[in-house]
């Protein structure tokens, strides 16, 4: 998965809670963060004392995350997407800056459906490890570690985690 990949706030929060930004960076270089995503994950997180915020700030300082501003046309498009599809501003901004055929890290069901309808390939945070392994960006051990870290945060069922890990090892 080459190139810049926009991500929604849930994805940033999951990656921070799992302490997995460095593994994610091997797969998505860098992760793009639109203004509404930053406000939701960082500013609102600081307001409530969310423990993952410092990790997000460190990831930004290390260049693993890149904050982006939207052009006026992208802001208008994000507003249209939000209104037409009843999406939050973060997901709408992610979709507005993702070109047709490109990938975006999205974890909200409605946003993934809208992404597909717009020609954007949605990747769930839990599947970044699988995508990274398939692309050769992560070896088997790195992909398994990434998968376990994210699984512990998102609450994936143990049998699903085991099946994914078996598949990674078989593909080796």
pTM of the model: 0.91
Domains, the chain, with CATH or none: 5-126 (3.40.50.1010), 127-171 (no CATH)
Helix (H, G, I), strand (E, B) or coil at 50: coil
Q: What is the pLDDT of residues 85-131, one digit of tens each?
A: 999 999 999 999 999 999 999 999 999 999 999 999 999 998 899 88
Q: What is the Cα 28 distance to its own chain's centre? A: 9
- What does the CA dihedral 77, 79, 85, 88 come to, rounded to 10 degrees? 120
- Measuring CA to CA, which residue among 133, 125, 129, 130 is closest to residue 153? 125
Q: What is the pLDDT of residues 134-156, one digit of tens each?
A: 889 999 999 999 998 999 898 88
CB 95 within 8 A of CB 113: no
Q: Which residue has the tokens 């699988």?
A: 130
């Amino acid at each position: 998965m080459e190139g810049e990949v926009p991500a929604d706030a849930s994805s940033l929060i999951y990656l921070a809670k799992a302490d997995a930004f460095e593994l994610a960076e091997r797969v998505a270089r860098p992760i793009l963060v639109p203004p509404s995503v930053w406000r939701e994950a960082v500013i609102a997180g600081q307001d409530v004392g969310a423990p993952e915020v410092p990790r997000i700030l460190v990831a930004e300082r290390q260049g693993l995350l890149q904050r982006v501003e939207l052009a006026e046309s992208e802001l208008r498009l994000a507003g249209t997407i939000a209104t037409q599809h009843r999406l939050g501003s973060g997901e709408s901004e992610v979709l507005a800056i993702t070109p047709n055929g490109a990938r975006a890290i999205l974890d909200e069901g409605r946003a993934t459906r809208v992404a597909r309808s717009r020609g954007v390939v949605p990747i769930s945070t839990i599947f970044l490890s699988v995508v990274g392994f398939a692309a050769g960006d992560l070896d088997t051990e790195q992909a398994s570690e990434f998968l376990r870290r994210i699984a512990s945060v998102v609450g994936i069922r143990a049998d699903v985690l085991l099946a994914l890990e078996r598949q990674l090892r078989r593909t080796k």
